[in-house]
Amino acid sequence: ISYGDRNPVLDDKTLFPSFFRIVPNDHSQYDGFVQLLHYFGWTWVGLVASDEEHHLRTSQELRAVLHKSGICIAYFEVVSTQYVFSYLHVFNVIEKSRANVVIPFCSHFIFLNLIYSAAQNAQHRRVWIIPASFSLFTDTLLLSVLSVLDGSLQFSMHREEIPGFQDFIYSINPTTFSSFLTADFWNDLFL
């Protein structure tokens, strides 16, 4: 059972008959990107990827889908995970471009560096369209940095309510589940 691997090779059930992915593959998200871009009339976008295999592959796949749907790629920049300051070059490309929309496929660390650079130096605001695979924890960002993301959009995975889960959570207490973890959880939340 995989909670995050989106490698399409794993979709082949003859090679991996017992592999089960609980997150959708990236292809459904590409359609969402295209629909969103067309809806807002955004036909000129920038792509940023880190040099990790998954991010390069997904950004290349999205690039082909965007091209086929009539969306133009203003730039495609790759941020090195080895050279710490390569994001500065990428930030300069973003800043000089006329494209107002940026789609990042990179690690949390690289994205934060780009956003912090934009917060300190940006002359122009950008709309960041953030993939669902990217976990953005706003509590880790400073208020001044959050303003850079104002107007940006993040895709998220569809979530269904788990039947009975809320009742189960409300029923947990140190007497129903005798475990030191339950007691610690209970004390942290309610005492």
Domain ranges of the chain: 25-154
Is it the case that residue 103 has pLDDT exceeding 90?
yes
Gyration radius of the chain's alpha carbons: 20
Strand partners, 154: 130
More confident residue, 100 or 118: 100
Say which CATH topology domain 25-154 has. Rossmann fold (3.40.50)
| 2 contacts 19 by C-beta, under 8 angstroms | yes
- Tell me what the pLDDT averaged over the chain comes to: 82
pLDDT in the model for residue 180 = 66
Q: How far apart are the first and last CA of the chain?
A: 36
CA distance 29 to 70: 17
What average pLDDT does range 39-49 have in this prediction? 96
CA distance 121 to 131: 24
Is it the case that residue 30 has pLDDT exceeding 80?
yes
Helix-strand-coil split of the chain, %, nearest 5: 45, 15, 40
pLDDT tens profile 128-156: 998 887 765 555 566 667 777 778 888 87
pLDDT band at 70 (very low <50, low <70, confident <90, very high): very high
What average pLDDT does range 181-188 have in this prediction? 71
**Cα 184 vs. chain centroid, distance in angstroms?**
32
| pLDDT over 70 percentage in the chain | 82
Closest CA to 190 of 179, 178, 176, 174: 174
CA distance 122 to 78: 19
